[in-house]
Amino acid sequence: MSSGITPLLASSPASEAITAPLNALLKDKIRDIHPGPEVGEQLLDPRLQALLWLLILIFLLVLIIRLAIRIQQYRRWCWQLEGDPQQLVTSIQDNLRLEALHRWPESRLLQGEEWLAFLDRQGGTRFSQFAHHWSSWLYGNRAPDHQQSEQLKQNYYRWGRACLLYKPRLASKTRTRGNR
């Protein structure tokens, strides 16, 4: 404001002696006036901003909790293979069947190669490569060798990552409706 008055005073016919004290007086008077916030600087009420930040934090907390629950489920999934190596295929079959029934009730009717192909489609695995051994491992007295056991475990873990970490289960109402 004083910068707008200064050119007027300087161009007036009054003497330079009057202009300098008047400028000093105007600067002292104007010094107490502070400009307000810039237009658009504070669009929201601070209480509303605090509420928005609180909602964002709650949302992030819910996401973190859901991620922690899924990671814990996956760890439990991996721990289910601990135990007797002779029962590896039986444990894998039981765990896969139980989890698949929770997610896809239509998988109840699948058996043999169709079942393994279904698992491959849902989890990005390669259980189908063991289709010719699967029945003898489950119902016979044969067991997979060490290399096959490791491949089965890797496929099991991959299926668990794909389905437990990345694909949520169906809602409980849908699950109970599909199991009737």
Tell the burial category of 4 from Cβ atoms under 10 Å away from its Cβ (0-12, 13-18, 19+).
exposed
d(Cα 105, Cα 122) in Å, to the nearest integer? 13
Q: Model confidence over 104-156: pLDDT tens digits?
A: 888 888 888 898 999 999 888 888 898 888 888 888 778 888 898 899 999 99
Q: What is the mean pLDDT of residues 153-160?
A: 91
Looking at residue 82, its pLDDT comes to 81
pTM above threshold 0.95:
no
N- to C-terminal Cα distance for the chain?
81
Q: How many CB atoms lie within 10 A of CB 77?
A: 19
CB-side neighbour CA atoms (13 Å) of 98: 9
Most confidently predicted of 17-26, 45-54, 75-84 = 45-54
- Comparing 19 with 107, the larger pLDDT belongs to 107
